[in-house]
Structure formats: structure tokens, C-alpha cells
């Protein structure tokens, strides 16, 4: 961790690139201490942003102007100006920050600190930590309900999900799930959360109105990341141990397709239009681009060394194509 190497700025296309929607994918490269910026119109890396030591995840503000990057080996978060693609602030947080998310109103950034068993709350305006919330052991994935009323945190060390009320900064519920939960994602209506359980090879489905688990869906080996299509019909799960992505029908609550990707996939993001899913492959230093209509990999993009968390967002205003 922390040994910098130059990311490859190449794309290996298996078919013509997808339609241009002006989205960018931001990929944290753990071993090269960079974030790769991928223009999804052409599926090519257009920039590489130096950040802190051991970047593990990225999250984008609702207006697309800022990218937040957890630096797991430096115990910091880099704040990146998405238009200029430069770090404008560095914020000290807890021990070994893992995943990061931004509140729907864009006012606060929440960071899961796997080493200190807590969540740091950062003001997006002042770049200062305003609160620290204790959760379960080894918190990894965290995500807001679409209406912003609750923050759910997957705790890998206690096999549960902490439910935080953000206006008070308190844990109001704890939901037991499978073994080793690492990530979670909500359906657009907020009625259900899908939690990937790394050690039990399944996905727990939480009904959020009562915070109860209503289903356990078997998937591939060691599921590490999960995302939901904007129409709520499909859930995508990156399986690190079987090098594939399970596609779940939310109606049938079952896997309907399996898509082979690169080696050790451990990050996943669904494009805002639902047309593509982006999967970071830690073991092969690539980003797989899945066409959700064809249910196959459309493109494979070479990124930095040890890609982990990935996020996809519209291009910020004023960004020059190819910059």
C-alpha cells in the first residue's frame, strides 16, 4: 500500500463504446494513490488525480462539483474539485477510512472508519469533522435512504447494519444480516435495502419500514459490492471470489444472470441512466463496463494499480471533454 505506479491510460474495447451521456466514472486506485477519471462516452481514462495514501473509495456530491476520496492508509479524505481535477482540501478522519457517501442534500459527507469502528461526519462547506458516531465493528459500506432520513452502515465485524438518524447523529436500530456485510444499496423507493455478505455468499434484503430481513439470496463467492438500477428492477452484485457479477431480479428475488468480469472485482457503480454498470477489478487493474440491456461486458478499461471503490456521476459544469 502506498507504492505509487503510473496508471495505464488505455481501453481494450470488446465492442463499440456506449452512447454519450456525459458521465464520468471515478475509480480509487489503492496501490497507485490515484483516482482514475473515465469518460464513459468513450470508455477511456482522461485523467489521473494524485490523492492520499491508499485510496479506497470515491463519492460524488449531488451537484457533481466535488469528489470525496477515502485514503485508508493516511486516515484522511481528499476533497477533489471535479472540474479542475485537483485536491482542494484534506480532512483527517478516523482509523482506516473505508467507504464514503454524501447526504442527498449535499451538506455532509459520511465516512466509515473500519479501524476505529465509527463514522466521521464532515461538513461539505467547511471541510471539518462535525461529529463521530460509534457503530458496529469494522464498518464498511454505508448508504442513505433516498429521502435522506436514515443512514445505513454495514458492519463486517458484527454481522449487522447500524441505522443512523443523521439529524441527531444517533444509532436508532441495529439489523442482523448475513456474515461479513460489506456494502448495501437501496431501491429507488427506499422500501428495500440489499446487503452483500462477503462471508456467507449471499445478499440480505432489508424491509426498511420495520428494519427486518425478509430474504437471503445466494449469489457468487465473496460478494463485496452491490448496486441497484434506477428503475429498481435489477440489483448487481460484484463477487470477489468468483470473478463475476450476479444480476438479481427484485421481483423474483433470485439471480437471473451471471456476468464474468475481471479478477477480484470489489467495487461497483450503476450509471445514473441505468444503461451501464461499472465494476472495478482489483486483481487485474481494470474497470469492466457491463451493458445492462445485453447483460454482458461491453468494454474493459485499464486503470490504476489495485482499483477499489468506483462512483459514476454527470460531468461537472465547465469540464472540458478529454481534460
Is the confidence at residue 89, as pLDDT, over 50?
yes
Query: Using one digit for the tens of pLDDT, what is the confidence trace for 49-78?
Result: 999 999 999 999 999 999 999 999 999 999
Say if CB 130 and CB 114 are below 8 A apart.
no
Give the per-residue pLDDT at 58. Answer: 98
Query: Using one digit for the tens of pLDDT, what is the confidence trace for 195-211?
Result: 999 999 999 999 999 99
**Would you call 143 exposed, middle or buried from its count of C-beta atoms within 10 A (0-12, 13-18, 19+)?**
buried
Say if CB 78 and CB 87 are below 8 A apart.
yes
Query: Using one digit for the tens of pLDDT, what is the confidence trace for 278-298?
Result: 999 999 999 999 999 999 999
Q: How far apart are CA 34 and CA 53, in angstroms?
A: 9
Is the confidence at residue 10, as pLDDT, over 80?
no
18 pLDDT band, cuts 50/70/90, is very low
22 pLDDT band, cuts 50/70/90, is confident
Q: What would the mean pLDDT of 147-161 be, rounded to a whole number?
A: 98
Q: How far apart are CA 26 and CA 23, in angstroms?
A: 10
Q: How far apart are the first and last CA of the chain?
A: 28
Is the confidence at residue 17, as pLDDT, over 70?
no
Give the per-residue pLDDT at 106. Answer: 97
Is the confidence at residue 179, as pLDDT, over 90?
yes
Q: Number of H helices and number of E strands within the chain?
A: 0, 29
Is the confidence at residue 164, as pLDDT, over 80?
yes
Query: Using one digit for the tens of pLDDT, what is the confidence trace for 207-257?
Result: 999 999 999 999 999 999 999 999 999 999 999 999 999 999 999 999 999
CA Rg value for the chain: 18
Helix or strand (DSSP H, E) at 185: strand 181-186
Taking alpha carbons only, the member of 69, 70, 19, 26 closest to residue 46 is 26
Q: What would the mean pLDDT of 11-25 be, rounded to a whole number?
A: 52
How does DSSP classify residue 315? P
Q: Within its chain, how far is the Cα of 214 from the centroid?
A: 24
Please enumerate, as own/partner, the contacts of 211-214 that have beta carbons within 8 Å and a separation of 24 or more. 211/163, 211/173, 211/175, 212/175, 213/175, 213/176, 213/177
Q: How far apart are CA 268 and CA 276, in angstroms?
A: 11
Report the sign of the C-alpha dihedral through residues 279, 280, 286, 287, in that order. positive
How does DSSP classify residue 320? P
Is the confidence at residue 267, as pLDDT, over 60?
yes
Q: What would the mean pLDDT of 308-314 be, rounded to a whole number?
A: 96
Neighbours of 288 (CB within 10 A): 26
Is the confidence at residue 11, as pLDDT, over 60?
no
Q: In whole angstroms, how far apart are CA 89 and each of 75, 210, 224, 262?
A: 14, 39, 29, 33
Rama region for 166: left / alpha / beta (φ>0; ψ in -120 to 50; rest): alpha
Q: How far apart are CA 97 and CA 75, in angstroms?
A: 6
- With H, G, I as helix, E, B as strand and everything else as coil, classify residue 249: strand
Q: What would the mean pLDDT of 113-130 be, rounded to a whole number?
A: 98
Give the per-residue pLDDT at 14. Answer: 30
316 pLDDT band, cuts 50/70/90, is confident
319 pLDDT band, cuts 50/70/90, is low
Q: In whole angstroms, how far apart are CA 294 and each of 19, 114, 128, 254, 277?
A: 14, 37, 44, 19, 12
Taking alpha carbons only, the member of 70, 85, 104, 88 closest to residue 39 is 85
Amino acid at each position: 500500500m502506498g507504492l505509487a505506479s503510473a496508471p495505464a491510460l488505455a481501453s481494450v474495447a470488446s465492442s463499440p463504446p456506449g452512447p454519450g451521456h456525459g458521465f464520468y466514472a471515478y475509480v480509487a486506485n489503492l496501490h497507485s494513490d490515484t483516482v482514475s477519471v473515465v469518460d464513459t462516452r468513450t470508455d477511456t481514462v482522461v485523467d489521473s488525480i494524485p490523492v492520499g495514501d491508499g485510496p479506497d473509495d470515491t463519492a460524488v456530491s449531488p451537484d457533481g462539483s466535488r469528489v470525496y476520496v477515502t485514503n485508508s492508509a493516511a486516515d484522511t479524505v481528499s476533497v477533489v474539485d471535479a472540474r479542475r481535477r485537483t485536491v482542494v482540501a484534506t480532512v483527517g478522519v478516523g482509523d482506516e477510512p473505508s467507504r464514503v457517501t454524501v447526504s442527498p442534500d449535499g451538506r455532509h459527507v459520511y465516512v466509515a472508519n473500519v479501524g476505529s469502528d465509527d463514522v466521521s461526519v464532515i461538513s461539505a462547506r467547511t471541510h471539518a469533522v462535525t461529529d463521530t458516531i460509534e457503530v458496529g465493528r469494522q464498518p464498511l459500506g454505508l448508504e442513505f435512504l433516498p429521502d435522506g432520513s436514515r443512514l445505513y452502515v454495514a458492519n463486517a465485524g458484527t454481522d449487522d447494519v447500524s441505522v443512523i438518524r443523521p439529524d441527531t447523529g444517533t444509532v436508532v436500530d441495529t439489523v442482523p444480516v448475513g456474515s461479513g456485510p460489506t456494502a448495501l444499496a437501496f431501491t429507488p423507493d427506499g422500501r428495500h435495502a440489499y446487503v452483500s455478505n462477503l462471508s456467507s455468499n449471499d445478499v440480505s434484503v432489508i424491509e426498511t419500514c420495520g428494519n427486518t430481513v425478509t430474504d437471503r439470496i445466494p449469489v457468487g463467492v465473496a460478494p463485496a459490492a452491490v448496486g441497484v438500477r434506477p428503475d429498481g428492477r435489477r440489483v448487481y452484485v460484484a463477487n470477489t471470489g468468483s470473478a463475476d457479477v450476479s444480476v438479481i431480479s427484485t421481483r423474483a428475488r433470485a439471480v437471473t444472470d451471471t456476468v464474468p468480469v475481471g479478477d477480484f472485482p470489489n467495487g461497483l457503480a450503476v450509471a445514473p441512466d441505468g444503461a451501464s454498470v461499472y465494476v472495478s477489478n482489483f486483481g487485474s487493474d481494470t474497470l469492466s463496463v457491463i451493458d445492462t440491456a445485453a447483460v454482458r461486458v461491453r468494454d474493459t478499461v485499464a486503470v490504476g494499480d489495485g482499483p477499489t471503490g468506483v462512483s459514476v456521476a454527470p460531468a461537472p459544469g465547465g469540464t472540458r471533454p478529454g481534460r
